[in-house]
Amino acid sequence: MRRTRVDALVVGSGPAGSTAALVLARGGARVALVDKATFPRDKACGDMVGPRALQLLDDLGLPRPEGPHVGDMLVVGPNGRRVRLPSADGLTYPGHGTAVTRTEFDDTLRHEALEAGALPVQGRAAEPLEVDGRIDGYRLSTGEEWRADFVIGADGATSGVAATAGLVEADRVLWGFAVRTYLPREVVDLAAIVMWEPSPWQAFPGYGWVFPAEGGANVGLGIATRGDRQAGARAVRALPEFLDHLHAVGLVAEAPKAELPPRLGGWLKMGMVGTTPARDRVLLIGDAAGLINPLQGEGIAQAMGSGRLAAESLLAGPGQVAERYGAALAAAHLPYQQITAVAQGALVGRPRAIAALSRLLIAAGASDSFAGGWAVFWNELLVGAPPGRHRSVAAALTRMGRTMTARTATARWLDAALGQSKAPPPF
C-alpha cells in the first residue's frame, strides 16, 4: 500500500481546490490535488466567470478565459416585464464576466496548479486517517494513504471532508439544487435571470437563467430547498414547463422539443450557514464551505477567492491557520452573507411573498439608480465599486439589510462560526 505525506492535501480539483493548490505550490508547499473524476469533466453550472474571478486570474498571473463577455443583465419578472441591470468597471474588478464551460475552465485551472508543482492524484477520499483524534489525511478508494499537515476540503456542496471533520450542522444548511441544459442555435443578446410563477402569485422558490454559451444558450433552473433535500427533484421536473415559459416571454426563439438536450444537475450549499469553515487542521473552501451567493447562485469567484485565502493562511505559518482563514473569510464575505442568507431562508416556502417581492423589485428597477444599486448589491460588488449613485444605493441596501438581520439566529450563528470575537487580523 502506498503511503505519502505532504504539507497539504487538497480534496477536489474544481476552481476552489485548483486555486488553493496553485497558490500553495507557488509558495513552496508540497501539495497533493485529489479528485475522483478524470479531467476534463463537466459540472452543472451557469458557466459564468464573474468580474471578481476574472480579476483574481489577473492577480495570479493567469490568462482570462476566452468566451462571450457578459456585462449588463436582464431580470425578467413573472409577467415578462424586464429590468436591465447595468454593469460598470469597478476599482478592483472589470465591468463584465465571461461565459466559458466548466469543462474548459476547470481543466485549465487544474493544469495551472499541476504546472506550478501540485501532485495530481486520482481517487475518492474514502476514509479519514486520524492521529490523536484529528484528521491526518485520507485513505483513497484506490487504497493509497495520503497524510498531510493540513487538509483542504474542496469537494463540493455535499463535501465528505466537511462531514467526516464534523463541520456541518445539517439542520441549518440552506440547500439548493440546480439543473441546466444547452439549447443549440439560440442567440442570447443579454444574459437574463428569470423569476417564474408556474401559476399566478405562486412563485417558483428559486430562479431560472438564460446565459450565452458558445454556439447557443446555457439555460437552467435553480430551486431553494432549505433543509429538504428531496425537494431538489422539483427543479428537474419543472424544467420543461420553464422552457415553455421562456419561449412565451420571448427569451428563447425556438419552442422546446419533446426530447430535451442532455441535462445535468447539482446541489448548492448557500450562505455559509450550517458549515464551520475551519477547525484544527481542516479548512473548507468553495461550495464545501457554503460559499454560494444566496440571491443569484454565483460561486466561481467565491470558490477561487476562498481557495487563495486558505492557501495564504497556511503559508503564513503553522500556528492559528484556522483562525486566520476564518478571519479572512469574515472580512471578505460575512456582512453580505449574513444579510442574504437570512433573506433566502425567510422566503423559502412562501410563494406569495416571493411573488410580491419580485413584482416590487421589477417596479423599482425602472429607476436607473435603483437598478444600478441592485446590480452592485446583488452581485456582491460593493467593495471596490466606483463612486456614484449606484454604489450609494448598494451601500444603503447593505446598511438596511444589516439592521434588519443583525439579531437573527442565522446572523449570530455565522458570527460564532467565523470566530469574529477571537480571530487575529487576517495577514
pLDDT bracket for residue 354 (50, 70, 90): very high
Strand ordering across the sheet containing 216-226:
82-85, 73-76, 191-194, 206-213, 216-226, 174-184, 263-270
The answer, yes or no, to whether residue 423 has pLDDT greater than 70, is: no
C-alpha closest to that of 220 among 259, 258, 247, 193: 193
pLDDT value, residue 257: 67
Cβ-contact 308, 20 below 8 angstroms: yes
C-alpha distance from residue 246 to each of 50, 249, 305 (Å) = 24, 5, 33
Number of other CB atoms surrounding residue 89 within 10 Å: 14
Domain segments of the chain: what residues?
3-69+93-172+270-340, 174-267, 350-406
Write the CB contacts of 213 (distance below 8 Å, at least 6 apart in sequence): 47, 68, 99, 101, 182, 188
pLDDT per residue over 6-56, tens digit each?
Answer: 999 999 999 999 999 999 999 999 999 999 999 999 999 999 999 999 999
Cβ-contact 206, 223 below 8 angstroms: yes
Cβ-contact 295, 376 below 8 angstroms: no
Cβ-contact 337, 272 below 8 angstroms: yes
150-163 burial: b if 16+ Cβ within 10 Å, else e: bbbbbbbbebbbbe
Cell of 382: 460593493
Cα(330)–Cα(323) distance, integer angstroms:
10
pLDDT value, residue 270: 95
pLDDT per residue over 88-110, tens digit each?
Answer: 999 999 999 999 999 999 999 99
Backbone angles phi, psi at 324, to 5 degrees: -60, -45
pLDDT per residue over 162-220, tens digit each?
Answer: 999 999 998 899 999 999 999 988 999 999 999 999 999 999 999 999 999 988 999 99
Cα(79)–Cα(57) distance, integer angstroms:
39
Between strands 206-213 and 191-194, the pairing is: antiparallel
pLDDT value, residue 425: 39
pLDDT bracket for residue 424 (50, 70, 90): very low
pLDDT per residue over 359-374, tens digit each?
Answer: 999 999 999 999 999 9
pLDDT value, residue 358: 94
pLDDT value, residue 261: 66
The model's pTM = 0.95
Task: Using DSSP, state whether 234 is helix, strand or coil.
Answer: helix
Cα(252)–Cα(213) distance, integer angstroms:
13
pLDDT, average across residues 373-401: 97
3-69+93-172+270-340 CATH fold? FAD/NAD(P)-binding domain (3.50.50)
What is the CATH number assigned to the segment(s) 174-267? 3.30.9.10
pLDDT per residue over 132-167, tens digit each?
Answer: 989 999 999 999 999 999 999 999 999 999 999 999
pLDDT, average across residues 280-285: 97
pLDDT bracket for residue 426 (50, 70, 90): very low
pLDDT bracket for residue 384 (50, 70, 90): very high
